[in-house]
A and B are shown apart, each in its own frame.
Chain A
Amino acid sequence: MSMVTEAQVKNAIPTDQELIDFVVREARLIDQQRFDEWLNLYADDAFYWMPLEWNQTDPRLTCSLMYEDKLLLSIRVERLKGARTFSQKPKSRCHHVLQTPQVDSRDPAANNYVTWTPMHYIETRMDEQTLYAAWATHHLSVENGRLKIKLKRVDLINCDAAFGNIQLFM
């Protein structure tokens, strides 16, 4: 199966390999800055969550680095294209190194599949390059024959550290 174009899941219930390929492809779309295609991987009611606290359980009354719905994610994607987005002149680039995603749970009845992916993420702009280490947890479901992200949670190993700009997506 090509990683470059999106594929339908073959059966109503995705295989582990299909879940793994999906997560790997998501990272690839970010690295290749194919942000419109990337956004399409998210369900309409999806959230992208990057906690601020170690083992954070609440995104609402505890602050997060990011807790964004699809509207806010689409605003980020539009902003990256903007003629006056000065913090992206010149643009950042990023690079994911993923460990093979592990399928943590599969619940076809609830249409909910969870994967866990340790990763290193590098973001670079001009002469600066920064390395982040994190775990990505994907909550996926099948919609109209395609896998979609319901929730992507990125737990940074140093989530409570003082960071400079983090401008792209982990």
Chain B
Amino acid sequence: MTRYAGNVAAIRDLVRDQEVHRDVYVSEEVFQLEMEHMFPNSWVYVGHDSQVPNPGDYFGTTIGTQPILLVRHTDGTVKVLHNRCPHKGTRITSETCGNAGKFFRCPYHAWSFRTDGSLLAIPLKKGYENTGFEQSHAASGMAPVRHVRNYRGFVFAKINDGGLDFEEFFGESLSSFDNMIDRSPVGQLKVAGGVLRYMHNCNWKMLVENQTDTCHPMVAHESSAGTVVEVWKKAPPGTKKPMAVEIIAPFMSPYEFFENMGIRIWDNGHGHTGVHHSIHSDYSAVPGYFEKMKAAYGEERAKAILGENRHNTVYFPNIMIKGPIQLLRHFKPIAANKTLVESWTFQLVDAPDMLLERTLMYNRLINAPTSIVGHDDLEMYERAQEGLHSNGNEWVNLQRLYSPDEAGQTNVAVNGTSEWPMRHQFRAWTKFMTMGM
């Protein structure tokens, strides 16, 4: 039964000022429309250019559910290609990442392509003479994604020609990327440590929303963070607080802490928690790091960079970054009720290793399929995915600290427990979902 395809009014009706219809989470039809419209209309994160340092290097990923390749072209620029042979559709690459050499070669019939996707050669080419092949879709090779932007190493792509340009889409929100990158004394990040992959039986938007949900940690994570606090209380007085306790215990901070941390709202669904402070504020100093930053930037600027404690910055549609610990979570949609969460970590080039060590410990303790904090969250998402099938109430409430004048406001800082960011994400959702429909 199609209810939403081509029906802009029906899609708009799913998002109200203070609530959203459960079909945004459970309907396979809505999910397919997200893949057809919302993702292609948006600037979606692809990968980091340190994953493809040398010409011919590639990294395979997805935009929505479409397979794509991030490639370092022979001219040194990065390209994004659809990972599909123009002949019969075969996936071109065998490994997730690797080096193609000077060209890609399809393993099925050996058509080959330059690293910008253009067709290089076809065996027994004369079989295509006088067939009008030049006019075929296949003749142009592996289709490139035309709109690609490499922002200080972070590569984004937009599949559709319509929509907003890169600057307009992100606006002031890029300051969170800037802060994360500037934390390297040489202003450079490198993907490091490996990626954690965690399968979630829930809609991808539940994860995105959760990144600015500051009323859940002290409740849902009482089991993990609360236990850490209790166990740590029994440590003999004077014991040095371990890194793991520094990382998990702040999840138990009281409501007041989260109210005061603040939330900032930018355009197009982007925003961040932790305007004033965050759960990352009180980490122990890493020996030698500030000295390096001071030497690189001068004391005042170094202090300003490290004084930012942004907690979670959400980039609509489907990533979150943590600047203070150089972590990026990618919420990859698979089906209405299935999401792959990839948690990537970055090394600050020319900074002490201990920063990466802490980042990896955070990732393992919070974002791994073996993480007790992760277990707490996933349990809630899965219960919601199930509960939403109830017909007793078809709406999900996002009303906390709602004010009727908020639509259209941007670059504002508000109370840290507001659900404004979620309402804001759904306003963007409607916009990019229906754009060009």
Contacts and interface: CB of A to CB of B under 8 A. Distances in A.
Contact of A78 (B231, B364, B375): B231
A52 B228 CA distance: 24
Given A63-B345, A63-B363, A64-B364, A165 B374 contact: yes
B369 interface: yes
Contact of B198 (A66, A67, A76, A163): A163
A163 B369 contact: yes
Interface in A112-170: 160-167
A71 B244 contact: yes
- Interface centre among B195, B201, B231, B364, by most A CB within 10 Å? B364
Nearest to B343: A63
- Interface centre among B195, B198, B369, by most A CB within 10 Å? B369
Interface stretch (A29-37, A80-88, A102-110): A80-88
Interface in B179-231: 192-201, 220, 222-224, 226-228, 230-231
Contact of A166 (B195, B364, B369): B369
Interface residues of A, number: 33
A19 interface: no
Given A62-B194, A72-B244, A78 B227 contact: yes
A80 to B, nearest CB: 9
Contacts of A60: 353, 357, 360
Given A72-B244, A78-B231, A84-B223, A67 B364 contact: yes
Given A62-B360, A66-B364, A166 B370 contact: yes
Contacts of B242: 69, 71
A50 B231 contact: no
A1 interface: no
A87 B353 CA distance: 34
A163 B199 CA distance: 5
A110 to B, nearest CB: 27
B199 A167 contact: no
A65 interface: yes
A130 to B, nearest CB: 11
Contacts of A78: 227, 230-231
Contacts of B244: 69, 71-72
Contacts of B231: 71, 74-75, 78
A123 B360 CA distance: 26
A161 B223 contact: no
Contact of A163 (B197, B224, B376): B197
Given A63-B363, A78-B227, A162-B197, A86 B340 contact: no
Contacts of A61: 192-193, 353, 356-357, 360
A65 B223 contact: no
Contacts of B376: 86-87
B121 interface: no
B222 A84 contact: yes
Contact of A63 (B196, B340, B353, B369): B196
B178 interface: no
Given A63-B345, A79-B224, A164 B201 contact: yes
A161 B245 CA distance: 28
Interface string A79-99: 100101111100000000000
A53 interface: yes
B227 A79 contact: yes
B368 A164 contact: no
Nearest to A164: B199
A161 B194 contact: no
B383 to A, nearest CB: 8
Interface string B222-251: 111011101100000000001011000000
8 contacts: A60-B360, A63-B193, A65-B370, A71-B231, A75-B224, A78-B230, A84-B226, A163-B199
Given A72-B365, A79-B224, A162-B198, 7 more contacts: A61-B192, A61-B356, A66-B364, A75-B231, A75-B372, A162-B369, A164-B199
Q: Top 7 closest A-B pairs, CB basis? A: A162-B197, A163-B369, A87-B379, A85-B223, A87-B375, A63-B194, A79-B227
